[in-house]
Amino acid sequence: MLSGIPDPELPVSIVDLGLVKTVHVEQSVVRVDLLPTWTGCPALEVIAKDVESQVAALPGVDTCTVTWCYEPAWSPDRISAEGQSILKAHGITSPGCCSEAPTTIPLGTSFIACPYCGSNETRLDSPYGPTRCRSIHFCESCRNQFEHMKAVDLEP
């Protein structure tokens, strides 16, 4: 059921994105522990409300509460294969979908294969992209800009 809840800022579900840490069920009370991609993500409240209202509406469930957890820190490794391929189709790469990419991105350069033409001649435009979890890259080969699900711990 959580697989049906999308991230408000990405075309994938919170399960495919790897946000779900654990689900505790005690009788009719459900507690869902989630991991934020970045701690300052403004979508956290929307996601928590979506989960709480939709889980509480399930038969046999009285209440559902969401807790945001800081351990372990989310990383793009948590994105499922399905999630990676959906993101790539939308022009957003993630470390797992490009074999050449290191898990961390040295600032100023990048080794991420362009999601449009596959070229490795790409560079990092800005580590701070349109949402907290994405960086912006440019492909020198096909001259397209694309986004990447960045690892939280970028190398300086």
Partner 1 sequence: MDAMLADPLAVLVLAHADDKLLLGHVQSDWTGLGPLLEEDIAASAMSQDDLSHALILYEFLGKRFDLDPDVIAFERAPEDYACCDLVTFPDEFDWATSLVKRWLVAVFTGLGLERLGTLDDADLSARCDRIMPEQRLQVAHLGNWIRRLGSAGGESTARMQAAVDRVAEVTGTLFEVPGHRLEEDETYCCGRDDLFTEWNGIVQATLAEAGLTGTFTLPERSTVGGRRGTHAGHFTEQLTEMTEVRRVSPGASW
Residues of this chain that bind partner 1 (CB under 8 A):
38-40, 42, 70-71, 73, 107-108, 125-130, 132, 136, 152-156
* The dihedral sign for the CA sequence 118, 122, 125, 131: positive
Minimum distance from residue 106 beta carbon to partner 1 (Å): 10
Which helix or strand (DSSP H or E) is residue 82 part of?
Answer: helix 81-89
**4 vs 106, beta carbon nearer partner 1:** 106
Minimum distance from residue 117 beta carbon to partner 1 (Å): 22
Minimum distance from residue 150 beta carbon to partner 1 (Å): 9
**13 vs 36, beta carbon nearer partner 1:** 36
**39 vs 63, beta carbon nearer partner 1:** 39
